[in-house]
Structures are given as structure tokens and as C-alpha cells.
Structure 1
Amino acid sequence: MLSFEEKKAIIDSFDELVEKPISMNRLNYHYPGSQYEKKIVVEKLHPNGNGFVYVGDLLAYKADDRGLVNIRDFSEQELRDAIEDSITYLTEVDDVVEEVTIEESFRNRSGDQLLLSFDGAFWNVSHGFNLEESFGTREDAEEYLAAEGFKKEK
């Protein structure tokens, strides 16, 4: 585990972030260039080494419902990657060069098939070309599918 000082040095290497002290000797790091209301990239970096990076709903991370991932046990490279991903996420959508399409198939016991896809903003559940439902998070979409008796195909 990286120490507080090591994490702080890594975070400080990102010139686009601004350090803001908060209570209990913790630090937040703001990204003034954010194109969204959300400006904090690193939250509550604590002298014990704990802290969070905002990654929104990026698929590469298991974030909490606020879009935060805990960095307590991150390596230097994991921390750098998370911060870079966060800054990219908070930058204008037009700046994103690569778009990834995610589609997964779900079936129920009757053999009916639904497709879960991500369009860059929403998780959509479709039957053929017909949109059934649209959700803000993958978790909500998967809960809906499970409640309707659908399981992910392998």
C-alpha cells in the first residue's frame, strides 16, 4: 500500500488538479476544467492512506453509488490510471476519441431473449429492435432483468 505522502506526490503530479484541504487533515483535489458540476477528482485523501477517486460509471471500476472507488490499496499505476480516467470522464464528451459499445444477451426460462446495451449515456434493454426500458446504471438494468426472470447468457 502506498503511503499518504506517496499518494499525494502522485496526485500532485497532475498539474490540472487543485489541492483543497478539508477537515481532519484530509485533502480533496478539484479539476477546474470539468465540463460538469462534478469537479472533485480525488476525495478525502486521509493521512492513513485512504481516499477515493471519482470514476462515475466507468466500466473498468467497481464504484459505489456516488461513482467513487476506494484507493487505499491502489498501486502507483492503478492510482495514475484512475485519475487519468476521471479527468477524461469529466472532460467534454467530444474529447473522447474511442467509443466502446457493450451488448450482452439475457434469456428467461421460456427462451425469450433481451439485449442489454450501453449507448454512452444509458443502459438499454431491448427486445429485437424495440426498446423495453432504459436505465441510468448497469446495476438498475440488471436488477430489472433479474426481476423479470432473465439471466445473462454465457
Structure 2
Amino acid sequence: MLNFNEKLAVIESFPQLKRNDVSLGRINFQFPDSVTEKKNIVYHLHPNGNGFVYAGELAGYQKDKKGMVNIREFSAEDLRQIIDESIQSLSPKTIAEEAIAGEAYEETWINRDNQTLLLVEEEDMWNVYAGLNLDGTFNSYGEAIQYLDEEGFHRLS
């Protein structure tokens, strides 16, 4: 388990976040560029090492009803990953993502190296894009998911 200063160092390594000191020595970190009204990425980081990260748009985390994940027991790597994923989930779509998906159903997938792929349903097929490049086409959602899992990706949104 990381102590307060170690967690603070990891969180402060994200230049997109703005620090906001709150009561009882706690600190929030906000993402001003969020496309939603949700701005707090890190909530109530406490000097005892407890705190929360917003993961409301993310899959694979145990969240409370507000979409927050307790980070008390997180390693530095796990903390970096959830913060990065949270920022990405609240960031505006890239021009490539907007051009590819438009109004179609889409999911963003990410791997441990923070590479992202876009899974898009198009005309009864499931296409995986790396940027503007088509990476694969699948007959079913299940086949596409299996491919993404095998490649080490997990769903971001």
C-alpha cells in the first residue's frame, strides 16, 4: 500500500489535473477539460492514504453508487492506470473517433501500455479501429471481445 506522499506524487504526475485542497487535509484533483459535469477525478485523498478515484464510465472496477473506487490498497501502477482511464473516459473524442463512430454504438478499449482501440458496430458487423486504421472485422460482438481480450485490452467505456 502506498502512503499519502507516494499517492500524491503519482497523482501530481498528471498535468491534466488541477489540485484543490479541501477540509481536514484532504485533497481533490479535478479534470477541467471533462466533457461531462463530473470534474473530480481524485476525491478526498486523505493524509491516512485513503481516497477515491472516479470510475463511473469504466468497466472492471468495484464502484460505489457515485462511481467512485476506493484506492487505499492500490499500487502505483494500479493508481496510474485508473487515473489515466478516468481521464480518457471524460475526455473529448478525438477527431478520428468522431469520424469513425459518428452516431454508431462504440466502445473504447485500452491495454496496459495505454494504447486504445475503438470497437464500433457497423451494419451488423463489429469493427476494431486503431486510430483511423481498421484493425479487424468480426461477425459478432463475442468474437470481437474475444480478440480484444486475447490482445490484452479491456473495456474503458
TM-score (normalizing by structure 2): 0.61
How much does 1:98 deviate?
Answer: 1.8
How much does 1:58 deviate?
Answer: 1.4
Aligned length: 102
How much does 1:99 deviate?
Answer: 3.0
Q: Deviations over 1:75-127 (max 9, x none)?
A: 000000000010011112455552388xxxxxxxxxxxxxxx9xxxxxxxxxx
Contact 1:57/1:63 (<8 A) preserved = no
Q: Deviations over 1:58-89 (max 9, x none)?
A: 11211111000000000000000000010011
TM-score (normalizing by structure 1): 0.62
Match of 1:92 in 2: 92
Give SS of 1:24's match: helix
RMSD of Structure 2 on Structure 1 (CA): 1.9
Larger Rg: 1
**Structure 1 residues 102-121: aligned runs within 5 Å:** none
**Structure 1 residues 1-154: aligned runs within 5 Å:** 1-94=1-94, 96=108, 97-99=117-119
**Structure 1 Cα separation of the partners of residues 119 and 18 of structure 2:** 29
Q: Deviations over 1:19-74 (max 9, x none)?
A: 00001000000001111100010000000000000011411211111000000000
RCO higher in structure (CA 8 A, sep ≥6): 2
Contact 1:43/1:52 (<8 A) preserved = yes
Seq. identity, %? 46
- Structure 2 residues without counterparts, runs of 5 or longer: 98-107, 109-116, 122-140, 142-157
- Structure 1 residues without counterparts, runs of 5 or longer: 102-116, 118-154
**Structure 2 Cα separation of the partners of residues 79 and 92 of structure 1:** 22
